Amino acid sequence: MDRLQSHIHLQPERLHAWILDFLKHTTRWRSEIAFSVEGRPIYTLHAGNESERIVIWSQMHGNEATGTYALTDLLLTLEEDANLLNNLLNRYSLVVVPMLNPDGAARFSRYNAIGSDLNREGLRALSPEAALLKSLLGKNAAWAFNLHDQRTLFSVGSTSVPATLSLLAPSTITQRGEQARLNAIKLISNTLETFEVNDRKYIARFSDEYYPQAMGEWCTDRGISTVLVECGGHYHDPHRTIARQMCFHFLKNALQHLSDPVATSSIAYFSLPINGQNLRDVLLRNAKLRTPAGTVCADLSFTAIYYPAEKMWKWQLEEVGDLQLKFGYIEIDLSDADPVEHYQWKPLTLYTLEDIPKTWHPWFTTT
């Protein structure tokens, strides 16, 4: 089978075609279909009997597809590696929902068709998508993996290093949740040891504030050991292929550990730096802004945003000022560049390449 090619916007139809093709080539997986608010299919893939479940889902936010791509890689690997799948199914059954929010995915939106954030329907399922997920988790789930994308601004601690992968064992307020969370912390710690040193430096810990309506906290409070995986940015990687690889590596090795567990500690988890917010996609330092009061030297930061209807990227100006405590995936010193008019550069304004000086174009690339 062909690997699904990464693109920041994964249309439901493209994923569904891949799933149907995958099902034609497997005898180990079976599918069930539920439906979204607007009637789009939501595929759930099952392997194994009704023993304790490992439930893995992605794209409860429709514009966060990196985990979905990683799941397709995982499915192909489990199909090819009979030993891993057999060992896993000796202990657990597997339940995989590659795209929980197809309506949001079609729009490239975080929200579903009624405008709800499915990750805030833990306490009360308003939408059929959340009701489906809670029904799958309510049937003997022991483990849950919740896959998301995070913004490119997230860094490893206060450094300039991007948090290409961030991990979390969600907080809890219940006694049974404490043991479930400890299990997740130890699993994360064990799996971190499988990464090469050069990759480990791009892994952070997601902030662990307790959100009672979040699905991860809902799981943990009920004794389901839960791992949140957030896929982030990397250098020159607008379609997040590096995060996809790292997410796949984490999932594969986490399942390997669950199939053949060994004793481990929680040290590696707590040694992860907590996410900072120090990065910008492009940071122009020392830009000369021509103003009525004279030329001002300031820094400008931009975020790249994809617009699916136009199939193009635009650049939002985030900040103008002294940004010496921020970093950029791309940083350019404009000390020797010609001045530009200050009124052209307003925070929260969107710019296309046509709006940007041609001499700046090489830095505003999405390839």
Burial of 182 from C-beta contacts in 10 A (0-12 / 13-18 / 19+): middle
Q: In angstroms, rounded to a whole number, what is the distance separating the alpha carbons of residues 46 and 307?
A: 34
- Residue 328, domain CATH: 2.30.40
Tell me what pLDDT residue 263 has. 76
Instruction: Tell me, yes or no, whether 5 lies in a domain.
Output: no
170 and 301: one domain?
no
Q: In angstroms, rounded to a whole number, what is the distance separating the alpha carbons of residues 211 and 301?
A: 30
Task: With beta carbons less than 8 A apart as the criterion, state whether 20 and 14 touch.
Answer: no
Quick check: helix, strand or coil at residue 358?
Answer: helix
Domain boundary pick from 224, 243, 276: 276
67 and 157: one domain?
yes
Residue whose entry in the numeric block shows the structure tokens 């710690």? 189
Q: In angstroms, rounded to a whole number, what is the distance separating the alpha carbons of residues 70 and 79?
A: 14
Tell me what pLDDT residue 366 has. 76
Task: With beta carbons less than 8 A apart as the criterion, state whether 349 and 324 touch.
Answer: no
DSSP state of 51: S
Whole-prediction pTM: 0.96
Instruction: Tell me, yes or no, whether 7 lies in a domain.
Output: no
46 and 182: one domain?
yes
265 and 331: one domain?
no
- Residue 156's region, left for phi above 0, alpha for psi from -120 to 50, else beta, is beta
DSSP H/E element including 242? helix 241-259
First-to-last C-alpha distance (Å) of the chain: 26
Which residue, 350, 331, 319, 239, is CA-closest to 281?
A: 331
Residue whose entry in the numeric block shows the structure tokens 């700046």? 360
**Pairing status of strand 225-231 against strand 141-149:** parallel
Quick check: helix, strand or coil at residue 93?
Answer: strand
Task: With beta carbons less than 8 A apart as the criterion, state whether 301 and 332 touch.
Answer: no
Tell me what pLDDT residue 1 has. 84
179 and 50: one domain?
yes
33 and 137: one domain?
yes
Ranges in the chain, pLDDT < 70: 367
Instruction: Tell me, yes or no, whether 78 lies in a domain.
Output: yes
Domain boundary pick from 276, 300, 334: 276
Instruction: Tell me, yes or no, whether 95 lies in a domain.
Output: yes
CA angle, corner 346, sides to 344 and 352, nearest 5?
Answer: 65
230 and 257: one domain?
yes
293 and 267: one domain?
no
Tell me what pLDDT residue 266 has. 85
130 and 237: one domain?
yes
Tell me what pLDDT residue 367 has. 60
Residue whose entry in the numeric block shows the structure tokens 């948090």? 163
Which residue, 267, 157, 160, 250, is CA-closest to 205?
A: 157
DSSP state of 238: T
Task: Report how many domains make up the chain.
Answer: 2
Backbone angles phi, psi at 95, to 5 degrees: -130, 120
Instruction: Tell me, yes or no, whether 4 lies in a domain.
Output: no
Residue 78 vs residues 71, 171, 314: alpha-carbon distances, Å: 10, 30, 38
Backbone angles phi, psi at 22, to 5 degrees: -60, -45
Instruction: Tell me, yes or no, whether 2 lies in a domain.
Output: no
One-letter amino acid of 69: Y
Q: In angstroms, rounded to a whole number, what is the distance separating the alpha carbons of residues 177 and 226?
A: 10
Quick check: helix, strand or coil at residue 25?
Answer: coil
DSSP state of 342: G
344 and 242: one domain?
no
- Residue 235, domain CATH: 3.40.630.10
Q: Give the domain range for residue 318.
A: 279-363
One-letter amino acid of 127: S
pLDDT per residue over 353-364, tens digit each? 999 999 999 999
307 and 340: one domain?
yes
272 and 295: one domain?
no
